[in-house]
């Protein structure tokens, strides 16, 4: 898609669509759209801003953040080397440019991603900058416009990059509450964690002509399904046909459409009596060195027999742990519903046409208290695993979970989630049914759900599919579970010469419970019996039950508004500044 300049002269470009040789100045005058075939070449963030905002109105927001490499990631190159190279080749500090400006006279806060910078990947700095832009929109009571271009979350920052999906989503939730318009403009390409959060949980979603958007990329889906993809799969027109975007817009019309939409919302908003603004969450300093317990107003309960939470974490090999987390004998959500909870009554269906077997949920009792339990369901035999799609939820599954979360809040029931999934469903129909938006809506809803939410990573916590159930007041993790932004195999395939580097990738990603506890992603490690959960499910259940009770009971006394505020603080502190401190502290 990129127009490439011939070596001898910078005056000509070859169109990636029709291979025509085009005079660069003419191409630029045509907004980098090929006059011959209409191909929209990718734009860098500075050029995109020039095209969209009123001349002279751009006020860049600061992009100064501490240098960071939060998990000391090394593949064939150390991560800081890749960052330095990206900065040198783009002239940008990060993969997003943020500003305030006017568009057709309407003031906006705007963040534009740049795919040239490490594939537009969402890391802590990008998440922090976009969050600050959304907070600026809230402060100034102006709409937020996001222009996305991203391959997904930034693997080199591990689970901390996954957390950014929640951090930005909760900033968008605050704009929703304040009645301020949020608009995302999808440009080519928008995938993974960006697609499954702020690219699709805005009020309006516009797709630029030729843009492709999806949660799973076409290469992965082809590999998993072994089938050819439908014509035009994940393109803007495909997204429009499947109800996932409000409109497909040619680049030359984009600015005009934005002006019209911004004008409509401005006219509709009362100017004399604005919606009362929610008090901004104070940017609280971290309370505990290990990052745990910072979100609780009261003293955290004594860790139930946990030798690792806050103490000296055991050194555990990442790849060995991955294999343990995937063990077919490991207790599943239904096993725990039987052993840890009483009186489970399963509730089915998303009310939109499906009941996903990979997600189970319903009301149950935990030591006599009613709770809503929602979890991924795998299985022990091949038949069970196939029947449950290996615990990979479809959009119907995410929407069932969403329905049950909202029901729980209405009924005043706490939510307990049990997370065990390799990831969301990498299939054609899942994409057709709006997988990215389904995950994005769950993440956003959990950031504001007015009832206690307690999440436990019991086995595999696979990327956005896991996070869709794991934005919680307290996040626990079984000792041999893993939680990661990408599977080690997927990471190896992208950053190493081949997938056989999965064990190295598993170690580099810092996906074990002690690692994540140190990073503050997880609050407490639930120890497993000496061998592992699958060797002694009964003892594992006892320990999980004790940990659930110890963490849930203090939450029950916290007023819902306070819970939401503290949950927001919990996810707000995964920004680059904090991570920089963590990296520097080691
Ligand atoms: Zn062309």
- Comparing 9-13, 267-271, 350-354, the range with the smallest average pLDDT is 267-271
Instruction: Report every protein residue that has its C-beta within 5 angstroms of ion ligand 1.
Output: 15, 17-18, 20, 34, 36-37, 39
- Ligand 1 centroid – CA 11 distance (Å): 16
Looking at the DSSP bridge assignments, the partners of residue 16 are none
Instruction: Measure the CA–CA gap between 152 and 339, rounded to whole angstroms.
Output: 38
- Ligand 1 centroid – CA 3 distance (Å): 9
Contact of 170 with 193, CB cutoff 8 Å: no
* Token output for 405: 């979360």
Tell me the percentage of the chain whose pLDDT exceeds 70.
Answer: 88
- Ligand 1 centroid – CA 31 distance (Å): 13
Does the pLDDT value for residue 337 go beyond 80? yes
Instruction: Measure the CA–CA gap between 247 and 55, rounded to whole angstroms.
Output: 26
Radius of gyration of the chain (CA): 23
- Ligand 1 centroid – CA 1 distance (Å): 10
Instruction: Measure the CA–CA gap between 135 and 131, rounded to whole angstroms.
Output: 6
pLDDT, tens digit, for every residue of 124-135? 999 999 999 999
- Secondary structure percentages of the chain, helix, strand, coil, to 5: 40, 20, 40
- Ligand 1 centroid – CA 21 distance (Å): 8
- Ligand 1 centroid – CA 39 distance (Å): 5
Does the pLDDT value for residue 580 go beyond 70? no
Q: Which helix (H) or strand (E) holds 144?
A: strand 144-150
- Ligand 1 centroid – CA 189 distance (Å): 18
- Ligand 1 centroid – CA 17 distance (Å): 5
- Ligand 1 centroid – CA 184 distance (Å): 26
**Ranges of H-type helices in 297-394:** 318-325, 333-339, 382-387
- Ligand 1 centroid – CA 43 distance (Å): 15
- Ligand 1 centroid – CA 33 distance (Å): 8
**HEC secondary structure over 481-526:** CEEECCCHHHHHHHHCCCHHHHHHHHHHCCCEHHHHHHHCCCCEEE
pLDDT number for residue 277: 44
- Ligand 1 centroid – CA 22 distance (Å): 8
- Ligand 1 centroid – CA 94 distance (Å): 30
- Ligand 1 centroid – CA 32 distance (Å): 10
- Ligand 1 centroid – CA 249 distance (Å): 18
- Mean pLDDT across the chain: 90
pLDDT, tens digit, for every residue of 528-574? 998 899 999 999 999 999 999 999 999 999 999 999 999 999 999 98
Does the pLDDT value for residue 492 go beyond 90? yes
Mean pLDDT of 233-246: 98
- Ligand 1 centroid – CA 432 distance (Å): 28
Instruction: Measure the CA–CA gap between 210 and 373, rounded to whole angstroms.
Output: 41
pLDDT number for residue 269: 54
Structure confidence at residue 5 as a pLDDT band (50, 70, 90):
very low
- Ligand 1 centroid – CA 215 distance (Å): 28
- Ligand 1 centroid – CA 29 distance (Å): 15
Long-range own/partner contacts, residues 172-175 (CB < 8 A, 24 or more apart): 172/134, 172/144, 172/198, 172/201, 172/202, 172/444, 173/444, 173/447, 173/448, 174/134, 174/135, 174/138, 174/278, 175/134, 175/137, 175/138, 175/144
Does the pLDDT value for residue 212 go beyond 50? yes
Instruction: Measure the CA–CA gap between 201 and 210, rounded to whole angstroms.
Output: 21
């Amino acid at each position: 898609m990129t127009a490439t300049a011939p070596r001898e002269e910078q005056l000509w470009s070859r169109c990636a669509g029709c291979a025509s040789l085009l005079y660069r100045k003419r191409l630029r005058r045509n907004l980098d759209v090929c006059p011959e075939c209409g191909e929209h070449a990718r734009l860098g963030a500075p050029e995109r801003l020039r095209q969209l905002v009123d001349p002279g109105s751009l006020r860049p927001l600061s992009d100064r953040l501490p240098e960071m490499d939060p998990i000391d990631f090394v593949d064939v190159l150390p991560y800081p080397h890749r960052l330095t190279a990206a900065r040198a080749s783009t002239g940008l500090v990060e993969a997003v440019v943020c500003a305030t400006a006017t568009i057709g006279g309407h003031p906006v806060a705007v963040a534009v991603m740049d795919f040239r910078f490490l594939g537009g990947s969402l890391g802590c700095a990008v998440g922090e900058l976009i969050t600050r832009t959304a907070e600026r929109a809230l402060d100034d009571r102006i709409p937020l416009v996001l222009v996305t271009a991203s391959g997904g979350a930034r693997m080199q920052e591990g689970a901390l990059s996954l957390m950014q999906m929640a951090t930005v989503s909760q900033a968008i939730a605050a704009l929703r509450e304040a009645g301020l318009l949020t608009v995302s403009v999808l440009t080519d390409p928008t995938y993974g964690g960006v697609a499954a959060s702020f690219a699709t949980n805005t009020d309006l979603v516009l797709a630029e002509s030729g843009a492709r958007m999806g949660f799973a990329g076409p290469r992965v889906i082809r590999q998993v399904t072994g089938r050819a993809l439908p014509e035009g799969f994940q393109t803007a027109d495909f997204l429009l046909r499947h109800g996932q975007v409000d409109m497909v817009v040619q680049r030359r019309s984009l600015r005009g459409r934005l002006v019209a939409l911004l004008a409509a919302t401005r006219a509709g908003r009362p100017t004399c009596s604005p919606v009362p603004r929610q008090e901004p969450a104070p940017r609280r300093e971290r309370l505990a060195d290990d990052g745990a317990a910072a979100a609780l107003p009261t003293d955290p309960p004594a860790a139930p027999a946990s030798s690792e939470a806050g103490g000296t974490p055991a050194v555990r090999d990442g790849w060995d742990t991955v294999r343990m987390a995937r063990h077919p004998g490991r207790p599943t959500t239904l096993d725990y519903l039987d052993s840890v909870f009483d009186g489970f009554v399963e509730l089915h269906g998303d009310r939109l046409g499906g009941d996903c077997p990979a997600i189970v949920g319903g009301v149950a009792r935990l030591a006599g208290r009613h709770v809503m339990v929602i979890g991924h369901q795998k299985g022990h035999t091949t038949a069970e695993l196939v029947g449950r799609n290996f615990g990979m939820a479809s959009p119907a599954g995410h929407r069932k979970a969403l329905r049950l979360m909202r029901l729980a809040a209405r009924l005043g029931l706490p939510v307990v989630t049990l997370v065990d999934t390799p990831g969301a469903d990498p299939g054609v129909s899942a994409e057709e049914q709006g997988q990215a938006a389904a995950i994005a809506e769950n993440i956003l809803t959990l950031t504001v759900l007015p009832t206690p939410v307690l999440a436990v990573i019991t086995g595999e916590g696979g990327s956005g599919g896991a996070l869709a159930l794991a934005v919680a007041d307290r996040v626990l993790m079984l000792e041999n579970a893993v939680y990661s932004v990408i599977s080690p195999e997927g990471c190896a395939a992208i950053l190493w010469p081949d997938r056989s580097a999965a064990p190295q990738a598993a170690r580099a990603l810092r996906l074990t419970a002690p690692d994540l506890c140190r990073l503050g992603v997880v609050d407490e490690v639930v120890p497993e019996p000496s061998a592992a959960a699958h060797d002694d499910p009964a003892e594992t259940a006892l320990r999980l039950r004790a940990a659930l009770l110890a963490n849930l009971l203090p939450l029950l006394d916290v007023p819902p508004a306070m819970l939401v505020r503290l949950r927001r603080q919990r996810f707000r502190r995964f920004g680059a500044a904090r991570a920089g401190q963590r990296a520097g502290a080691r």
